[in-house]
Structure 1
Amino acid sequence: MTKYIQYIFLLLVVSINNIYAQSEKKATNNDEMIFSNDQSIENWLKENKIPTLGLGIIEDGKLKEVKVFGEIKKGISAPNNTYFNVASLTKPVTAMVALRLISLGKWKLDEPLDQYWVDPDLANDPRHKKLTTRIILSHQTGFPNWRWMNTDKKLNFQFDPGTKCQYSGEGFEYLRKALEKKFQKSLDQLAQELIFQPLKMNDTNYIWDQNINESRFAIGYNKEGQPYPTEKRETANAADDLHTTVEDYGNFLISVMKGKSLKPEIFQEMVKKQVKVKDDLYFGLGFAMYDLGNGNYALSHSGSDPGTRCIAFLLPNSGKGILIFTNVDEGQKIYEKLIIHYLGEDGKKILEIENR
């Protein structure tokens, strides 16, 4: 993994590069055998010590397959409606809440946020006046990923906002506080009204409440197979710890791909190259964007927390996509074969960009 990507994306794409750099070989006949039937996939997962895999396949703009493999607990097969903690795959949902509000004319992409929220740590730094929704959704705030990574545990600007890209969960939390202040509603309430209810995402929530059936939750594991404590948030985090199912998040991705509930000009801003990361890799609004050539592109986001590795890719021009959820620290090691098998040549191009 390059130092540049490690610095910018931190938890976002660390899992991608760790595995993609392992091999540049094309899919072999043995790889094809893995996907010949569900039992072959189950065997492959056991070999790689993946307790649970959630897989969503999008074709022709529709969620064609929803499958969950492995066991949710010893001896009990994981159901297709298994809950996963999807870590930073929370961020695209938060982004769509903001973009939906912008499409409704209730929020502005380039309005300074200081009239709604100023973090106390930044009150004496005039650069907070430069913070906008566009800058936050394209990871140009200048913030660290999390303030606790700083020696003094305080939020600060590591460069001027809007001058370059650096991945930051703090930016999304900043946006949450501004949205909540203006609308006098919690982020989870806004998401329910704007995203979850319209898309019938009944198994998706920022918070752990009485509606979550814990018997369906995929507990996270470390590489030694030891379980992590389950994070049960009582308040929303705009950047992390969303709980959802493959079907719910797959339907969310389809709505993103089709620009549902967004004005056309807002959708175009979402898929615009807002800031360059490296050759053929950019950030749009809420998603990383791969330039695959000839007008073709992929939108992507990943998630990485203790006990969860997950990733999603969308190809809006072809209507294809893939969603991968795992519940183990080394879940990323199965990404490459899945992406090449289901996304074909486009998947290979994505890997080539990552390996540059």
Structure 2
Amino acid sequence: MTKTFYFFLPFFFLFTFKIKAQTEIFDNDPAIENWLKENHIRTLGLGIIDDGQLKQVKVFGEIKERISAPYNTIFNVASLTKPITAMVALQLVNAGKWNLDEPISNYWIDPDIANDPRAKKLTTRIILSHQTGFPNWRWMKENKKLTFDFEPGTKYQYSGEGMEYLRKALEIKFKKSLDQLAKELIFQPLQMNDTNYIWEQNTDEKRFAIGYDKNGKSYEIIKNTTANAADDLHTTIEDYGKFLVNILEGGNLSPKIYSEMIKKQVKTKENKYFGLGFEIYDLGNGEFALSHGGSDLGSQCITFILPKTKQGILIFTNADEGYKVYEKLLVHYLGENGRKIVDIETT
């Protein structure tokens, strides 16, 4: 099957959609179910982090016709894969086994850019902050080849290709697949037992939230046999919530590496930046939010965590129009900080 990738949709687009639902629906599960139907969303996974703990996990809607979605529904979370890959790299940096600023060319050079001297300028820092100069995906180019759109390290451009470039270098260096590295460094230590880059024999398809378009037509399930560093992670609200709670606790990183992760590496718009693996929203008064979203056919997901207040939210949907519920949920659960996030995206 040939897969069509969505761009990582900028939130200024997502937040232009206004929802008619009243705040009161969030205390009324049947009302939420009706709200989802109005917005053509079959399944919504919602996780709420408060006081540094995953306090609430709810999954609404149906996994199949007339079958309620279970608490441990498995979602394809699209580009929410990228923060996991970033943390694999940062764990290796933390252990002294990898270097943020070492040229990736020491381990891997893509054949498409083998004769381009800019290939030697690529580093893990540049990749994780999306400053490679690569397009999102090479197939978007007319010749389907990987090329540089600009000098690496000079500006921001979101790129799945960059993450895949890093994957190949890591796999060559450590002689392990990315999914093996992630299991050893993240999934097993955090007991993320329902999370994987690949579709394994023990993956429970009965719990998988099949994606749908706005007309209610289902998409084919992507069953990757090799890891994609940028896309198609499948996980649950509880599992990814564990990951984000761990980030709030410091991510098992040294203060030095953690500070690099949350450092504003490159500006993407006013009061918004990219760090290493996460977007950074500057909310003023020393408060900030770390975020990432995912957007594919039949998958619209987003997460935010606030390190100062130890709050967070996870929103997973299996619908092309799942982004329509973001704004109301953010403002309801994150309050004034949620409104600040929306304001950054709409100004």
Question: Which category describes the TM-score, using the shorter chain as reference length?
Answer: over 0.9
**SS in structure 2 of the partner of residue 69 of structure 1:** strand
Matched, 1:134 2:125: yes
SS across alignment from 2:148 = coil
Q: Secondary structure at the match of 2:27?
A: coil
Equivalent of residue 265 in structure 1, options 256, 260, 269: 256
Whether contact under 8 Å (1:133, 1:175) holds in the other structure is yes
Per-residue CA distance 1:91-136 (angstroms, 9 max, x = gap): 0000000000000110001110101000000100010010000000
Task: Find the residue that maps to 1:35 and give its secondary structure.
Answer: helix
Q: Which amino acid aligns with 1:150?
A: K
The equivalent residue for 2:322 is: 331
Give the Cα–Cα distance (whole angstroms) in 2 for the partners of residues 17 and 227 of structure 1: 27
Q: Which amino acid aligns with 1:56?
A: G
Residue in 2 that maps onto 1:295:
286
Corresponding residue for residue 20 of structure 1: 15
Q: Distance in 1 between matches of 2:68 and 2:163?
A: 35
Corresponding letter in the other structure for 1:18: F
Q: Which residue of 1 aligns with 2:197?
A: 206
For 1:145, the equivalent position in structure 2 comes to 136
Residue 158 (structure 1) aligns with: 149
What does 1:29-40 correspond to in 2, within 5 Å? Answer: 31-40=22-31
Indicate which of 212, 216, 221 corresponds to 1:225: 216
Q: CA deviation at 1:253?
A: 0.6
1:177 aligns with 2:173: no
* Distance of 2:115 and 2:251 partners within structure 1: 40
Answer whether contact 2:17 2:324 (CA < 8 A) is retained: no
Tell me which residue corresponds to 1:78. Answer: 69
Find the residue that maps to 1:248 and give its secondary structure: helix
What displacement does 1:299 show?
Answer: 0.6
* TM-score normalised to structure 1 length: 0.94
**TM-score, with normalisation over the residues of structure 2?**
0.97
8 A contact 2:293–2:302 mirrored in 1: yes
**Maintained 8 Å contact 2:23/2:328:** no
Asked if 1:96 corresponds to 2:91, the answer is no
What is the alpha-carbon distance in structure 2 between the residues aligned to residue 291 and residue 245 of structure 1?
28
* Amino acid paired to 1:48: N
Counterpart contact for 2:297–2:320, Cα < 8 Å: yes
CA displacement, residues 63-106 of structure 1 (integer Å, 9 cap, x when unaligned)? 00011000000010000100000000000000000000000110
- Correspondences of 1:42-121 after superposition (within 5 Å): 42-121=33-112
Structure 1: which 4+ aligned runs deviate by more than 3 Å? none
Supply the distance in 2 between the matched residues of 1:354 and 1:281 (Cα, whole angstroms): 9
TM-superposed CA distance for 1:22, in Å, is 3.3
Q: Matches of residues 282-321 of structure 1 in structure 2 within 5 Å?
A: 282-321=273-312
CA distance in 1, matches of 2:242, 2:27: 26
Q: Which runs of 5+ in 2 are unaligned?
A: 1-5
Shift of 1:11: 2.2
- 8 Å CA contact 1:12–1:301 kept in 2: the answer is no
- Cα RMSD between the aligned structures? 1.2
Instruction: Tell me the amino acid that sits aligned with residue 200 of structure 1.
Output: Q
2:113 is aligned, of 113, 122, 130, to: 122
Q: CA deviation at 1:50?
A: 0.9
**SS in structure 2 opposite 1:218?**
coil
The CA distance in 1 between the partners of 2:238 and 2:115, in whole Å, is: 45
Distance 2:339 2:23 in 1: 15
Give a deviation string over 1:127-153, Cα, whole Å, max 9, x none: 001000000000000000000000000
The residue type paired with residue 38 of structure 2 is E
The equivalent of 1:352 in structure 2 is: 343
3-state secondary structure, aligned to 1:303: strand
